[in-house]
Amino acid sequence: MFDWFAKVGKNAIDFFARFGREVLLFIQAVIGFATLIPRPGLVVQQLFSVGVRSMLIIIVSGFFVGMVLGLQGYNTLVDFGAEESLGVVVALSLVRELGPVVTALLYAGRAGSALTAEIGLMKATEQLSGLEMMAVNPVSRILSPRLLAGIISMPLLAAMFSAVGVFGGYLVGVDMLGVDSGAYWSQMQAKVDFNDDIVNGVIKSFAFGIVTTWIAVYEGYSCIPTSEGVSRATTRTVVYSALVVLGLDFLLTALMLD
Amino acid sequence: MSSTRVLEISVGIFVAAGIAALLVLAVNVSNVTAFHSGDQYIVKASFDNISGLKVRSAVTIAGVTVGRVKAITVDPVSFEAVVDMAIDSKYNEIPVDSSAGIYTAGLLGEKYVGIEPGGAPDFLEQNSEIHLTQSSIVLEKLISQFLFSQSDSDKKDK
């Protein structure tokens, strides 16, 4: 009986201790942003590995998601004679939900796992301790540029995803299925609001960029420095990022639709 | 070209592409320039019933969108709905005796405010009010009126 309570208590304490460590690391990394001002090259390098290298997968998936939305939306809307609204369906679902969420999931798989593995391996090969020996703060030297690059890249990647998806939907809806081209754009422009829809999507992708990169960086920095520990940390990054992104998406949507 | 230069160029392309995508979304998808820029003036109108009209619904003259509904409130004394409309100051020559009505685009479409221009020499200004208004048609009321009138006439026939 008492064992059971002890177990629950231990789990709760572990959870909050872990969360506290994550918050502390995040604050340290954000403070470390100041050290990046004289050395923007570090961020550019990370933007390359986090952003540029994720661009291809984001654009290709955005295109296919847009095309699928076009097909599915058309088949449903045509029953009501409302296939002219296809542009609205495609644009709203991409800009409000699919753009930020799918981009964040792909980003966690493509860039987040790579970040964790990289930092974890640095820890395993004692490069982080080496930096500390040279009186270089590993948090601001290694983690801050990666965190900042992730926060910058996510909104840009999500915007690319949505924009390419809208054109994918156009290709299927207008060129293949014969929706009127003018109606596709004009209905979309009439129904999609800049402040309510697009800015909200950008805020979402910004928030997802913070949490996914934060999780990736924390998992890498706190992993057990063995090959097995690194592999576990990489798995945890992807799993936790996906769960947090989907949960946070619900919260943000509920707040924004208010 | 050195490898850092290639890296910098590709990052530059990445950031530019991201910002371009945002611009495409803003201009092409949401048409942000339509009624956010430019001066506007507010015109008020009171309606008995606005059912279905929303903030940001269109305000039109002869079918052309000239503004948007800015706010909808209830007058605490007369219990009429007061609709504030922000009209583009390009259209500053709307006669004061114009009338406003709430119409539906198509049978199931969105509600919008239609302004029928009058003939007075004075024009609507900031915070002036349109006095001639026609309320939104509530479909349920029409149907129930029709049904009741049918049943009345049935009784008379017997």
Identify all chain B residues contacting A41, using CB atoms and an 8 Å cutoff.
4
A229-253 mean pLDDT: 94
Identify all chain A residues contacting B22, using CB atoms and an 8 Å cutoff.
155-156, 159, 163, 198, 202
Helix (H) or strand (E) holding B83: strand B81-88
DSSP per residue, A134-182: TT--HIIIIIHHHHHHHHHHHHHHHHHHHHHHHHHHHIIIIIIT---HH
ipTM: 0.77
pTM of the model: 0.75
Task: Determine the Cα angle at A105 with ends A102 and A111, to 5°.
Answer: 125
CA B128 to chain centre: 18
Identify all chain A residues contacting B7, using CB atoms and an 8 Å cutoff.
44-45, 48
Which residue from B138, B157, B158 is spatially nearest to B146, judged by alpha carbons? B138
Counting Cα atoms < 13 Å in the Cβ hemisphere of A203 gives: 14
The tokens for B103 are 């119409």
pLDDT tens for each residue of A14-34? 999 999 999 999 999 999 888
pLDDT tens for each residue of A184-215? 888 888 788 888 888 899 999 999 999 999 99
Q: From CA A156, how far away is CA B18, in angstroms rounded?
A: 4
User: What single letter denotes the amino acid at residue A39?
Assistant: R
CB contact under 8 A, A192 and B13: no
The counts of H helices and E strands in chain A are 12, 0
Q: From CA B157, how far away is CA B14, in angstroms rounded?
A: 78
Exposed, middle or buried, B16 (CB in 10 Å: 0-12/13-18/19+)? exposed
The DSSP bridge partners found for residue B114 are B60, B101
User: What single letter denotes the amino acid at residue B87?
Assistant: I
Determine the pLDDT at residue B1. 61
| Residue-range domain boundaries for chain A | 2-256
A142-156 mean pLDDT: 93
Coil, helix or strand for A247? helix
Chain A nearest CA to B138, separation (Å): 23
Q: Please give the torsion angle defined by the CA atoms of residues A163, A167, A169 and A174, in that order, rounded to the nearest 10 degrees.
A: 150
Cβ neighbours around A101 below 10 Å, total? 22
Residue B15 touches partner A, C-beta closer than 8 Å: yes
The tokens for A142 are 């290694």
Which residue from B3, B97, B100 is spatially nearest to B45, judged by alpha carbons? B100
> What residue of B is the nearest CA neighbor of A188?
B29
Q: From CA A154, how far away is CA B21, in angstroms rounded?
A: 13
Identify all chain A residues contacting B24, using CB atoms and an 8 Å cutoff.
163, 166
Task: Determine the Cα angle at B17 with ends B14 and B18, to 5°.
Answer: 85
The tokens for B157 are 């026939």
CB contact under 8 A, A48 and B26: no
pLDDT tens for each residue of B80-110? 899 998 888 888 888 888 889 888 876 666 7
CB contact under 8 A, A189 and B19: no
A27-54 burial code (b ≥16 CB/10 A, e <16) = eebbebeebbeeeeebbbbbbbbbbbbb
B70-84 mean pLDDT: 89
Determine the pLDDT at residue B91. 86
| Residue-range domain boundaries for chain B | 1-33, 40-143
> What residue of B is the nearest CA neighbor of A191?
B30
Nearest to A48 among B10, B22, B24 (CB): B10
